[in-house]
């Protein structure tokens, strides 16, 4: 009896010790191709770190944003690593919600990060999230349709050149539309494109005193241009099209030009999914009279919430998923074309990547051209690019986006949409204490 008790106690002590050693990291992430791939390859991490277990929570982007915001704001401690966008990083870091990443290890080459991306995820020179993949925006067009229509799209096109080409490429009898642009309302949907477009026309969201600028001629010019062009050369029902809808249209050969996130290039050139894989040409985001390429810059990053009790293990994971060795791991298992793009300078210098990804150079040019600390030519009190990095922007951006989507659908005029946008933004900014 005594022996059995002793044995049982010994077993339970051993069990408790081993239990105490195994740490479980809970990782919240979005369901994008690169993230799913990371999940599949995570065995490599757990093999190297047998004392760390990984639990994945994959959610749709908006649900994820709501979910992790609730958790981090209440210090709920549900997650040890979170996938967050460049919009959240500066706001959350200033709130003290994120841990600075200072223990990423010797192999993590910080100097190799693309400067524009590194800036976007740093506050006061400290890295608060590690970029996993990054993107800017660019023009993707059908070379065959351009040739047929007798137009050429230069590497640095103007909006007028794009409009001219789009009109000539349109052939409504075969349901071929010259241009596909986002129209679905949302701060991360149509407002990403329209803010970048407005930047390229010299417009700004706010002046130095946070007064909204929708009553200025630049916004009117940008929005009128967009609505007119889409009416003439865009697909029917464009006001409900977002990234995925346009992706589907472009892949099935219905669009001449599509201007959207650079990450789209890897989808439209994938012969398994795309009918036009070998016919795609690229150009920088168009300009509208000022030296500005829209300043679209986005990255999905891995951050560590301040509420975690497993900061050390979490940093180990973040380092594994975002260092150069991970890139090589993906390349060896899935090929260079599937490597997460847009974060490291070394990737774009790699000849094998250049060969596998014909869009590498233009992606790098687009990302280098983006400057989040100076989104538009006129002086502004905010940072950002295709968004304004203030907490109120999610709400305001979506409300303005609804007005602009309505203008595209034709239920309000451009002037009415701009007036409503001006009024609602003024109201919200006054409420937020920006306008005294």
Nearest distance in Å: CB 77, another protein: 7
Enter the tokens of residue 384: 């950002």
Nearest distance in Å: CB 236, another protein: 11
Nearest CA to 218 among 376, 366, 403, 375? 376
- What does the binding site for another protein look like in residue numbers (CB under 8 A)? 26, 28, 30-33, 36, 39, 55-61, 63, 66-67, 70-71, 73-79, 175, 188, 243-244, 247-248, 251-252, 254, 261, 263-264, 267, 273
Q: Sign of torsion, CA 240 242 245 248?
A: positive
**How big is the chain, counted in residues?**
436
* Angle 274-276-278 from CA coordinates, rounded to 5°: 110
**For residue 417, what is the DSSP state?**
H
Nearest CA to 386 among 193, 134, 115? 193
Enter the tokens of residue 255: 């669009």
Nearest distance in Å: CB 431, another protein: 19
Nearer to another protein, 251 or 287 (CB): 251
Angle between helices 217-233 and 393-409 (to 10 degrees): 50
Nearer to another protein, 242 or 288 (CB): 242
Enter the tokens of residue 132: 């996993």
Residue 85, classed as helix, strand or coil, is strand
Nearer to another protein, 212 or 340 (CB): 340
Nearest distance in Å: CB 124, another protein: 29
Report the distance separating Cα 208 and Cα 255, nearest Å.
39
Nearer to another protein, 61 or 207 (CB): 61
Nearest distance in Å: CB 263, another protein: 6
Nearer to another protein, 24 or 346 (CB): 24
Please give the distance of CA 34 from its chain centroid, rounded to a whole number. Answer: 12
Q: What φ, ψ does residue 283 adopt, rounded to 5°?
A: -150, 165
Residue reference for tokens 């990371």: 38
Nearest distance in Å: CB 273, another protein: 6
Nearer to another protein, 18 or 252 (CB): 252
Nearer to another protein, 68 or 429 (CB): 68
Nearer to another protein, 219 or 243 (CB): 243
Nearest distance in Å: CB 10, another protein: 29
Question: Under 8 Å CB-to-CB from 21, ≥6 apart: which residues?
Answer: 51
Residue reference for tokens 């009190």: 381
Q: Are 292 and 156 in contact (CB under 8 A)?
A: no
Report the distance separating Cα 103 and Cα 194, nearest Å.
39
Nearest distance in Å: CB 57, another protein: 5
């Amino acid at each position: 009896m005594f022996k059995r008790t002793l044995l049982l106690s010994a077993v339970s002590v051993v069990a408790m010790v081993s239990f105490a050693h195994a740490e479980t990291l809970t990782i919240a992430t979005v369901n994008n191709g690169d993230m799913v791939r990371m999940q599949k390859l995570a065995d490599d991490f757990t093999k190297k770190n047998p004392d760390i277990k990984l639990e994945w929570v994959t959610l749709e982007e908006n649900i994820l944003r709501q979910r992790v915001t609730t958790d981090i704001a209440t210090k709920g401690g549900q997650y040890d690593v979170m996938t967050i966008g460049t919009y959240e990083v500066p706001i959350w870091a200033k709130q003290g919600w994120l841990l600075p990443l200072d223990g990423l290890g010797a192999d993590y080459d910080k100097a190799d990060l693309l400067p524009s991306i590194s800036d976007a995820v740093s506050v006061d020179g400290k890295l608060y999230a590690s970029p996993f993949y990054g993107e800017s925006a660019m023009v993707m067009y059908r070379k065959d349709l351009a040739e047929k229509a007798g137009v050429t799209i230069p590497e640095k096109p103007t909006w007028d050149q794009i409009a001219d080409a789009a009109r000539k490429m349109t052939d409504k009898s075969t349901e071929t539309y010259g241009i596909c642009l986002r129209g679905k309302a949302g701060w991360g949907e149509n407002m990403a494109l329209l803010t970048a477009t407005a930047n390229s026309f010299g417009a700004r969201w706010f002046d130095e005193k946070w007064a909204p600028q929708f009553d200025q001629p630049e916004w009117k010019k940008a929005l009128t241009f967009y609505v007119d062009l889409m009416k003439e050369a865009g697909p029917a029902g464009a006001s409900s099209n977002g990234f995925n809808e346009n992706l589907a249209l472009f892949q099935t050969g219905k669009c001449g030009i599509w201007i959207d996130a650079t990450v789209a290039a890897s989808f439209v050139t994938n012969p398994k999914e795309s009918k036009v894989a070998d016919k795609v040409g690229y150009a920088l985001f168009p300009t509208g009279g000022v030296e500005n390429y829209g300043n679209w810059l986005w990255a999905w990053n891995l951050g560590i919430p301040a509420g975690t009790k497993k900061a050390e293990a979490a940093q180990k994971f973040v380092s594994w998923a975002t260092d150069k060795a991970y890139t090589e791991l993906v390349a060896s298992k899935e090929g260079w074309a599937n490597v997460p793009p847009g974060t490291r300078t070394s990737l774009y210098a790699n000849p094998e990547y250049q060969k596998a990804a014909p869009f590498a150079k233009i992606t790098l040019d687009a990302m280098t051209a983006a400057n989040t600390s100076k989104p538009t030519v006129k002086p502004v009190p905010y940072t950002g690019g295709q968004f304004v990095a203030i907490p109120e922007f999610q709400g305001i951006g979506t409300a303005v986006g609804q007005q602009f989507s309505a203008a595209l659908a034709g239920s309000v005029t451009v002037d009415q949409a701009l007036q409503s946008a001006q009024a609602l933004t003024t109201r919200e900014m006054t409420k937020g204490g920006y306008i005294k």
